[in-house]
Amino acid sequence: MFQAKASKERLDVVKSLMACKPKPRASICAFVLEMKGYFDKLESLNMVFDTELSINIIISGLLADYNQFVLSYQMNRKETSIMELHSLLQTA
């Protein structure tokens, strides 16, 4: 029973994660923090995404306004945490 509940909860969080999009006129940082919250929740449910995949999911959800940032990020790629990506986006 507990396992089925946890499995459903993981599925619900994954659905929310995949449906998450930046909100109009909202800070892009709010979007990144919302995504991070989903990754943290999944980790607490024993479903861990590696950092690179998490970053790729986040940057794939950015608005077209951030295409230049994404290109630059990919060309200068180094190991980055979600919070480091958050900081980079604040200065973009």
Tally of structural domains, the chain: 1
Residue 68 has pLDDT above 80, yes or no: yes
Instruction: Kindly state the average pLDDT of the residues 38-47.
Output: 96
Residue 77 has pLDDT above 80, yes or no: no
- The answer to whether the CB of 88 falls within 8 A of the CB of 73 is yes
Residue 23 has pLDDT above 90, yes or no: no
Domain that holds residue 29: 2-91
Can you give the pTM of this predicted structure?
A: 0.88
Q: Nearest 5 degrees, angle CA 51-CA 57-CA 61?
A: 145
Of the pLDDT bands very low, low, confident and very high (cuts 50, 70, 90), residue 78 is confident
